[in-house]
Amino acid sequence: MFTSVLMIEKPLTSTDVEFVTTLHGDETVAFIVLMQPRGDQADLLLRAIDDVAMGELKEAAREGEEPEGKEARQPAELALEHSLAALRATGSEAVGQVVEDHPLDRMKAVVEESGADEVIVLTAPHYVEEFFHRDWASRARHRVGVPVLKLFAHSE
């Protein structure tokens, strides 16, 4: 069985689920989902710049209203449960956890503990971080020891 560590920052949409579950054709895939809630590592200014770059001005203005830190834990847990249920509904195995502190360290540990074959980072575009190679996928490529695939999350 092929094992993928899947890093997400919001609930998976049906399009996301179809995308990640069909990446390897008919091969059975087990997912270990790491849900990264919003927090100190996701800078408010950078998120607002990304919103503006994508033409989402209303989103940029509302960035300060989004829960962060401890207040983001419960929405992250709900997003994780939704995502795990959606993956399992396709017949995939799926387990997961909310990761708040040192997400790249946790990702590396999960890859090592599980013997994962790959890491998939599924996020919204983060143009500033990507330009400077500070996004999750760029940083993970130098740390986890398995291939890292970056995919852009869909909205429904």
Tens of pLDDT, residue by residue over 45-58, are: 555 555 555 565 56
DSSP annotation of 1: -
The string over 111-145, giving b where at least 16 C-beta atoms fall within 10 Å of a residue's C-beta and e elsewhere, is beeeebbbbbbbbbebebbbeeeebbbebbbeebe
**CA–CA distance, 29 with 72 (Å, rounded to integer):** 29
**Amino acid identity of 108?**
K
> Which residues lie below 8 Å from residue 5, measured CB to CB, with a gap of 6+?
31, 32, 34, 107, 110, 111, 114, 116, 118, 119, 120, 144
- The whole-number pLDDT of residue 16 equals 95
DSSP annotation of 115: T
Q: Residue 72: pLDDT above 70?
A: no
**CA–CA distance, 103 with 61 (Å, rounded to integer):** 27
- The whole-number pLDDT of residue 141 equals 83
Label residue 5 by pLDDT band (50, 70, 90).
very high
**Amino acid identity of 101?**
D
- The whole-number pLDDT of residue 93 equals 96
Q: Residue 42: pLDDT above 70?
A: no
Report DSSP letters for 41-82, one per residue: TS-HHHHHHHHHHTT-HHHHHHGGGS--GGGGHHHHHHHHHH
**CA–CA distance, 133 with 148 (Å, rounded to integer):** 14
Mean pLDDT of the 137-149 span: 84
